[in-house]
Structure 1
């Protein structure tokens, strides 16, 4: 069965890997991103750039475009977000609001707006990107971890809210992801221990599958380099 899949933050490294996974499975993929255009093309994908996912009108317009083009929405993967490393003493208090907006409010806004279409699906799936760093925050990780902890609580609360519907809600909690940006920021790290974007996409693909139909409200760590 061909499914209609939305990947927010789909123009980034992880979003690209997730979109590639579903496209390879034969699904209809839409990538929605704040960036104006994708860094890499994806054949057959519906790309919608320049969308502020905290703007309800803009998010709704993007969702309507996807639903019209792909005949509804079956899967929503909330990858959109950001990262800041900052100590509280040396940083800006505005960073806390920025992380809250980028990581939690983007997911909450588009998920709320997508629920009517997802509930029409025979097997609706929502998969959020949490963070292993939000389970126990280290120095400089406070603002980021607090926002991702909010994503975890959103996942749990919404899973209970949607119990009895066709929609499941889960989150993956990666450790450090092997991306060019992370390599540049941490050049002396052991990259082999970092999680590959494609490996995270595999876990997301499982949570979106029929095999995971009885899994909802899970916060699934993804921590091994491979």
Structure 2
């Protein structure tokens, strides 16, 4: 897929999945704005990478400011990939409402704020794209997964509602539903698991790039499992 001339913003760009999406988009020829709450390293060797670290996307004002800066620097925006997210395993009994607030803010609120801020730019693109990151574990929540699954289920409904809202304006909105992703953190947390069965960040990035491409114009409102062999 050829993304030369495409301008793509990726949130959560410092994480394992976000950095894989950034790398895949750059390799395909895109100009990429990499956004994260954590510091994001910019390479002087890659003029197509623009780093925006220290960004709190749960703040609508901050989201609007950074997206406006991206639009000015890149001359517009063609796609937004909402990767920013986090995970907590916690049962309701003995748990805390603060965990629910955290997962809502990081997993859902950031996607809402970033998408809202990006819409004025995306509607000016010939083929605007939004891809969100849901979770297969939100289809049926297990014990200890209530807060996480609820926040990701919100991502499902955001995706479906926004796809309907934008379907006559040339913008597609889809979500990826991964299972366990093969990251260093997950390997550390589950050392006895069969890592070969997990889906790799680069494999998810490939699916995301397809959804950002011109070939995916007919796909919108989809919740797509990317589950490896789990």
Q: TM-score w.r.t. structure 1 length?
A: 0.96
Q: How does 1:6-155 map to 2 (within 5 A)?
A: 6-38=9-41, 41=43, 43-44=46-47, 45-155=49-159
C-alpha separation in 2, matches of 1:200 and 1:109: 23
Q: Contact conserved, 1:5 with 1:29, CA < 8 A, in 2?
A: yes
Query: Cα distance, 1:113 vs. partner?
Result: 1.0
Structure 2 regions of 5+ residues with no counterpart?
none
Contact preservation (8 Å) 1:122, 1:166: yes
2:123 alignment partner, SS class: helix
Going from structure 1 to structure 2, the CA distance change for 1:182 and 1:81 (only over 3 Å counts) comes to same
Partner secondary structure for residue 164 of structure 1: coil
Aligned length: 225
Alpha-carbon shift at residue 225 of structure 1 (Å): 4.7
Segments of 4+ moved more than 3 angstroms: none
2:184 equivalent to 1:174: no
Preserved CA contact (<8 Å) 1:134 1:149: yes
1:165 shift after superposition: 0.7
1:147 and 1:215 mapped to 2: Cα distance? 24
1:59-115 deviations in Å (ceiling 9; x for gaps): 112111111111101010000011000111132121111111110000001101110
> Would you say the 8 A contact 1:196–1:225 is kept in 2?
no
Deviation at 1:224, TM superposition (A): 1.1
CA contact (8 A) 1:37 1:49 kept: yes
Structure 1: tracts of 5 or more residues without a match? none
- In angstroms, what is the RMSD of aligned CA positions? 1.4
2:172/2:219 contact within 8 Å kept: yes
Give the CA deviation at 1:37.
3.2
Q: Report if aligned partners of 2:13, 2:40 keep a CA contact under 8 Å in 1.
A: no
- 1:43 is displaced (CA, Å) by 2.6
